[in-house]
Structure 1
Amino acid sequence: MTAPMLCVTWTDEVTGRRGHLVVDRLVRGVSSGGLRMRAGCTLDEVAGLARGMTMKEALHYDPSARYVPLGGAKGGIDCAPSDPDAYGVLVRYLRAMRPYIEHFWTMGEDLGLTQETVDRAVAEAGMVSSIQAVYPLLDDEPAARRRLADAFAVRVGGIGLGELAGGCGVAEAVLVALERDGRPYAGTRVALQGLGTMGGATARFLAQAGLTVVAVADVRGTIANDAGLDVESLLAARDAHGGVDRAALGPGDRELDAGAWLAADAEVLVPAAVSYCVDASNAHRVRARWIVEAANMPVRPEAEVLLAARGVTVLPDVVVNSATNAWWWWTLFGDIGADTDEAFGHIRRSMRALVGEVLRRAADAGTTPRAAAHALVEERLRVLRARYGTHR
């Protein structure tokens, strides 16, 4: 794949904090990718995430759908979301990036931000919407915007549909992997890093499918129970950043160190919080059969090589966590409506087809799911370029 189309670094005149935007490529003149906020965020990190967004978009190309995949982009701000200056930095970043957001970068929440916070800051920065660049591609903009707003207003068990979409996709990836391996859901143990938007929704769907969640990690450490955690109680006790109130722990729950989730006695690990959390220094601690990347870039390449040599399969982020982005566009473009059953049904069918195809290709070629996914991306990007041209 070629170099990114655009890289921008911004310095906040008030705090000196830095922010980045990378547009990897455009399709029909538009790119898609969220905005993250975390201390230590770098331009290289944002560039990797932007490339990943190009891949996630291409993987969901369906020539019969109204939604045509966009290009990939990503934004990042080097500031902890808990910092007292964070919201002001966010608003000033958005003001600086306004020309890009208005014309060719559509974005939403990512690590460290909620969609509610993004929407509020976008309005304060003087813009119509964080996704307004895509509006010229819509057949009926008012109807599309109403449909997406209605979808975001839907709540299921106290959690918004927009928060649940990604976790539904991650869970479906896990279930497909189990089925292909001939393993029943019941008795399969799962450990997750992160109980925020993605991790929390994934935990809910996996528990509902009959899997046993034995460990979850948040900023304060790992909560574990070999007999299974009460996922719904933990979700109800979360704060805005996914931290769990320890007063809600059950009698059999234990508090362990923050890294204990990685070595949990579980068949499935779901890193759903931070990037680069599995590397060459800790890969030997993994006891699981599968690592399912709900977070962006959680497993470093050198660690994946070591894990593969031990028979641990990594399901890559560009496949696993792609449903959140796709759900936005399926809804906005009208492939699905603001309906829970329709949304979850479409996500499950799409993810089953995609994960199944990637795993089949990997098995046939004797390669990793990541390599198979990358090959599939290149095929679909060639089709998109032939149909819509190249925008660099």
Structure 2
Amino acid sequence: MSLTWTDHVTGRRGFLVVDRLVRGVASGGLRMRPGCTLEEVTGLARGMTVKEALHYDPAARYVPLGGAKGGIDCDPRDPGAYGLLVRYLRAVRPYVEACWTTGEDLGLSQDVVDRAAGEAGLASSVQAVYPLLDDADAARRRLADAFAVEVDGIGLDELAGGCGVAESVLTALDRAGVAPAGARVAVQGLGTMGGATARFLRRAGLRVVAVADIKGTVANPDGLDVEALLAARDAHGTVDRAALRPGDRELAGDAWLSADAEVLVPAAVSYAIDPVNQARIRARWIAEAANMPVLPDAEDLLAARGVTVLPDVVVNSATNAWWWWTLFGDIDADADEAFAHIRRALRALVGRTLGRAETDGTSPRVAAHAIAADRLPAIAERFGWYG
């Protein structure tokens, strides 16, 4: 199911795509960015179906849902963006109430989504899943408690996804025999996902040599002070340049692509790496912290050059999974427990994906989709498939 909504106030458009329902419910975030299209949201919704299936564990309380996604064509910095968000949520309210569980995505934080959902008359952005819970009240308290947890001044909800991206990178390095202390990384985007990824990778021993935001790229071959940059960013991930050290250099916005690094982490917009600019990449691995940052043709060209793309459906899946592990009761509202669970799950999933790719002679993305395809019939047989 797909729909296009036009705002009667601004004329801007919003989109909702439900790719598949499992037990009558689908999961997928809501993004806001200028230029967002129905085609983009459709691809994201299909990706969510795969992400959910990849985390299917018959022994777990969390049962994967179907895939969906929402999008609004607007700059989140626009003064009218919040009002537009509220009107969009009012328009799609019946779907949020009945079948679409949503949350933060590119351009939107969870607190903004929650506030707008309340103004739109919704009890919660994930209320459609409540009928599937054994004890909805206890589950809601557990999730609220988890969102209140902070680690070094950053919310656990903002760190979960980055922990998964970092563990994906570390797993790939381990399989290749590359020590984290000898690896360098460049990150595009220092928002929720990119910022958390940079923090976890730096703490794991990697050197973060470049980060990019809307103002440009900041680079230092000796390594950037990640914690200082995180402390100096605004709500949209833009770093105050007053926090830079003497050895830090300000470069062009796309300079992160050609950074002298083993790992690139595109953690901002979709379609960031295309068939032309991929030629500038010198990294050995690209970890897709963003959704769909590498275009298919570019990925083929990168593979021919020996560059491995760790796909978004695996790499950035921890944010979504953490929500459901917490809500369904597989983990409690505890940072150490959450990080340990994420690390175990992502290390196993990345290892399985890379192993399948080697065995089948395919890319990690094709392997991940094959693993999901193996699991979807089992989910459908157990819970039914609608869509």
What's the TM-score bracket when you normalise by the shorter of the two chains? over 0.9
Q: Which amino acid aligns with 2:43?
A: G
Q: Which amino acid aligns with 1:340?
A: A
How does 1:184-223 map onto structure 2 within 5 Å?
184-223=179-218
Instruction: Decide which moves more: 82-91 or 164-173.
Output: 82-91
- 2:318 corresponds in structure 1 to 323
Q: Once the two structures are superposed, what CA deviation does each residue of 1:31-79 show, in whole Å capped at 9, x if it has no partner?
A: 0000000011000000000000000000000000000000000000001
Q: Which amino acid aligns with 1:273?
A: A
Give the superposition deviation at 1:17: 0.6
Aligned mates of 1:334, 1:275 — CA distance in 2: 32
- 2:339 corresponds in structure 1 to 344
Q: TM-score, normalised by structure 1?
A: 0.98
Q: TM-score, normalised by structure 2?
A: 1.00
- 1:360 corresponds in structure 2 to 355
In structure 2, list runs of 5 or more residues that go unmatched. none
**Superposition RMSD on alpha carbons, in Å?**
0.4
Aligned mates of 1:97, 1:217 — CA distance in 2: 34
* Structure 2 residue corresponding to 1:43, chosen from 28, 33, 38: 38
- 2:131 corresponds in structure 1 to 136
Q: Once the two structures are superposed, what CA deviation does each residue of 1:280-302 show, in whole Å capped at 9, x if it has no partner?
A: 01110000000000000000000
* Structure 1 residue corresponding to 2:12, chosen from 4, 9, 17: 17
Q: Which amino acid aligns with 2:46?
A: R
- 1:3 corresponds in structure 2 to none
User: Is the aligned partner of 1:84 residue 2:79?
Assistant: yes
Q: Which amino acid aligns with 1:20?
A: F
Aligned mates of 1:365, 1:45 — CA distance in 2: 29
Aligned mates of 1:308, 1:391 — CA distance in 2: 36
Aligned mates of 1:340, 1:36 — CA distance in 2: 26
Q: Once the two structures are superposed, what CA deviation does each residue of 1:322-370 show, in whole Å capped at 9, x if it has no partner?
A: 0000000000000000001100000000001100000011111111101
User: Is the aligned partner of 1:229 residue 2:188?
Assistant: no
Give the superposition deviation at 1:158: 0.6
Following superposition, which runs of at least 4 residues in structure 1 exceed 3 angstroms of deviation? none
| 1:25 aligned counterpart, secondary structure | coil
| 1:149 aligned counterpart, secondary structure | helix
Aligned mates of 1:368, 1:127 — CA distance in 2: 41
| 1:191 aligned counterpart, secondary structure | strand
- 1:148 corresponds in structure 2 to 143
* Structure 2 residue corresponding to 1:284, chosen from 272, 279, 284: 279
* Structure 2 residue corresponding to 1:180, chosen from 157, 162, 175: 175
Aligned mates of 2:178, 2:51 — CA distance in 1: 27
Give the superposition deviation at 1:228: 0.1
Give the superposition deviation at 1:252: 0.6
- 1:111 corresponds in structure 2 to 106
Give the superposition deviation at 1:248: 0.1
Instruction: Give identity over the alignment, percent.
Output: 76
| 1:198 aligned counterpart, secondary structure | helix
Aligned mates of 2:194, 2:316 — CA distance in 1: 11
Give the superposition deviation at 1:187: 1.7
Q: Which amino acid aligns with 2:269?
A: V
Give the superposition deviation at 1:85: 1.0
Give the superposition deviation at 1:251: 1.3
Aligned mates of 2:51, 2:100 — CA distance in 1: 16
- 2:249 corresponds in structure 1 to 254
Q: Which amino acid aligns with 2:89?
A: L
- 1:296 corresponds in structure 2 to 291
Aligned mates of 1:250, 1:366 — CA distance in 2: 45
Aligned mates of 1:34, 1:369 — CA distance in 2: 24
- 1:244 corresponds in structure 2 to 239
| 1:186 aligned counterpart, secondary structure | helix
Give the superposition deviation at 1:391: 0.7
Aligned mates of 1:365, 1:11 — CA distance in 2: 45
Q: Once the two structures are superposed, what CA deviation does each residue of 1:268-327 show, in whole Å capped at 9, x if it has no partner?
A: 000000000000011100000000000000000000010000000000000000000000
- 1:97 corresponds in structure 2 to 92
What is the aligned length? 387
Aligned mates of 1:364, 1:74 — CA distance in 2: 32
Aligned mates of 2:89, 2:369 — CA distance in 1: 32
How does 1:373-392 map onto structure 2 within 5 Å?
373-392=368-387
- 2:300 corresponds in structure 1 to 305
Aligned mates of 2:275, 2:346 — CA distance in 1: 30
Q: Once the two structures are superposed, what CA deviation does each residue of 1:239-272 show, in whole Å capped at 9, x if it has no partner?
A: 0000000000011100000000000000000000
User: Is the aligned partner of 1:160 residue 2:155?
Assistant: yes
Q: Which amino acid aligns with 1:57?
A: E
| 2:130 aligned counterpart, secondary structure | helix
User: Is the aligned partner of 1:28 residue 2:23?
Assistant: yes
Aligned mates of 1:41, 1:222 — CA distance in 2: 24
Give the superposition deviation at 1:25: 0.4
